[in-house]
Amino acid sequence: MENEIIKVYFVGDQIPAEENNNTPRERVKMFSQKVKAIKDELKKDVVGQGEIIDNVIVAIVAGGNVLLEGVPGVGKTRLVRSLGRVLSLPFSRIQFTPDLMPSDVTGANVVEKDENGRLNTKFRKGPIFANLVLADEINRATPKTQSAMLEVMQEHKVTVGNEVHKIAEPFFVLATENPIEQDGTYPLPEAQMDRFVFKLIVNFPSDADLVDIVKMTQKTLDETASAVITGEEILEMRRLASDVLVADEVLRYAIKLVSGTHPELKTCAPSTKKYVKYGASPRAAQALVTCAKVKALMEGRYNVSYDDINELAYPVLRHRIKVNFTAVNDKLGVDDVIEMIIKETKKVKK
């Protein structure tokens, strides 16, 4: 185990042919096995939340960041911690507080004495330099600190001074936030929100799940999930997923769905005109198709379907759409509006 060499590839890197000599069918098989293994391990620590786990896996394979929103105690942090262990990747946790500074996240240049006693500046990496970062209570940090996350979340690099520090792939930020407590919090900037591929709502567990949670925690609070997948394997899964086929019509539908969230466009859905203040960015369309490919492969398909797009529309669009006062007045949430847009876009499709 000590001698095992982990090769890390960055996005866009070509895997050498000799390392990619498995048949397509074997690679797909490996994909399914890994997904299953991740799920099984996570279930050891997290009770219920099957859909959340699935979507988190989708986001990780797709290479996106995830924002988990839920009331305290529903297992958000535990899920991410467990994931950190399952993925067998360097994991770091940043507890976001109002006094957290950007350098506390990204790292900073510090003055150090070398062996000869001379003073040199040296970049000391912050906690962001990991493959999996848990940004706990992300909305408690000031906008200044949150802005420090923008570059790393999108471009997977950190610029300090004149130096650019690349972050090893795979890299994900899994952030949590509390929707109830508003005191001492700062709403996330739209630019940052857009960098999360998914916003997942972690609901209160069902009674049955709650029973299991209570029973499990009576025995031990330890998290038992173990590593089942390497970074290299995740990148391989990502590459495989990117090859999944998308029919032109399905692709057009995904784009129509995203552009349909823009009330300023003539082609938008009627509900958009009524309830949406501003729509999703082009990143949403990219995220929708990329994640749909992963989801299709997870379900054993080699092509994306309308259902994939429709199901993923909620986590992809809910933090990218801003509803207006009419929606609030009509007691409609973002998910309700998305549902309406989907239905109206389906009609156009037919």
Partner 1 sequence: MEKEKNVSTYNQSVSDDSALSRRDRKKARKRRIKESKRQTGFYAFRTKDAIIRAIKAILVGIAVALLVGGIYTIITKVIPLTLYPLHPLVIALVFISMFLVLGIVMAIAFVPAFAISFFGLRRGDKSFAKTIDEQFYLKESMQTMLEHAGDNSEMASLQREGVKEKVNGLRHRMLKPKKLYIYIISVLLSALFIWITFCIPYRIIKEEPVTATFKLTDMQEKKLKQIEASVMSSDMKSPAKEEVAEEIAALTNALKVTTDFDTAKSLVELSVGNGSLEGHIDMLTKKAGTAYALHDILVEDDTAFVREIGRLLTKLDSERFKEKREIIRQSFVHKDFSKQDEEGVEIEIDMEKVTSDTVKLLRDNASELKRALELSGIDSADSLYMALLKVTIDMEALASELEDGSINYHNAVGRDEGKGELINVISNGIYFALDKQNISYSVGFGASDEIREMFPEFGLKAPQREDNKNEKKENDKEDEENDEEKDTDGGAGDGDVFGSNDLIYDKEHGQIKYGEVIDKYHQIMNSSSYTEEQKKIMQEYFDILYRGLEDEKGE
Alpha-carbon gap, residue 313 to 307, rounded angstroms: 10
Q: How many helices (H) and strands (E) are present in the chain, helices listed first?
A: 14, 11
Summarize as ranges the residues that interact with partner 1 (CB under 8 A): 23-25, 28, 243-250, 296, 300-308
Distance in Å, CB of 350 to partner 1, minimum: 10
Give me the sign of the Cα torsion angle 55, 200, 147, 282.
positive
Distance in Å, CB of 24 to partner 1, minimum: 4
Alpha-carbon gap, residue 220 to 214, rounded angstroms: 10
What does 79-113 look like in DSSP terms, one character per residue?
A: HHHHHHHHTTS-EEEEE--TT--HHHHHEEEEEEE
Q: Which residues of 106-133 are buried (b: 16+ CB within 10 A; e: fewer)?
A: bbbeeeeeeeeeeeeeebeebbbbbbbb
Distance in Å, CB of 29 to partner 1, minimum: 11
Listed in sequence order, the residues at least 6 apart from 259 whose beta carbon sits closer than 8 Å to its beta carbon are: 265, 267, 268, 279, 285
For residues 10 and 302, which CB has a smaller minimum distance to partner 1 in the complex?
Answer: 302
Q: Which residue has the tokens 């330099």?
A: 129
For residues 41 and 311, which CB has a smaller minimum distance to partner 1 in the complex?
Answer: 311
What would the two tokens of residue 251 be?
């692709």
For residues 137 and 308, which CB has a smaller minimum distance to partner 1 in the complex?
Answer: 308
For residues 167 and 250, which CB has a smaller minimum distance to partner 1 in the complex?
Answer: 250
Alpha-carbon gap, residue 196 to 67, rounded angstroms: 6
Distance in Å, CB of 248 to partner 1, minimum: 6
For residues 35 and 321, which CB has a smaller minimum distance to partner 1 in the complex?
Answer: 35
For residues 243 and 330, which CB has a smaller minimum distance to partner 1 in the complex?
Answer: 243
Distance in Å, CB of 245 to partner 1, minimum: 5
How far from 105 is each of 102, 135, 144, 158, 192, CA to CA, in Å? Answer: 5, 10, 11, 10, 15
Distance in Å, CB of 131 to partner 1, minimum: 27
Alpha-carbon gap, residue 35 to 55, rounded angstroms: 11
For residues 152 and 244, which CB has a smaller minimum distance to partner 1 in the complex?
Answer: 244
What would the two tokens of residue 72 be?
């305290």
Distance in Å, CB of 346 to partner 1, minimum: 12
Q: Virtual CA dihedral for 264, 250, 38, 89, nearest 10 degrees?
A: -60
Distance in Å, CB of 301 to partner 1, minimum: 6
Alpha-carbon gap, residue 237 to 20, rounded angstroms: 12
For residues 125 and 239, which CB has a smaller minimum distance to partner 1 in the complex?
Answer: 239
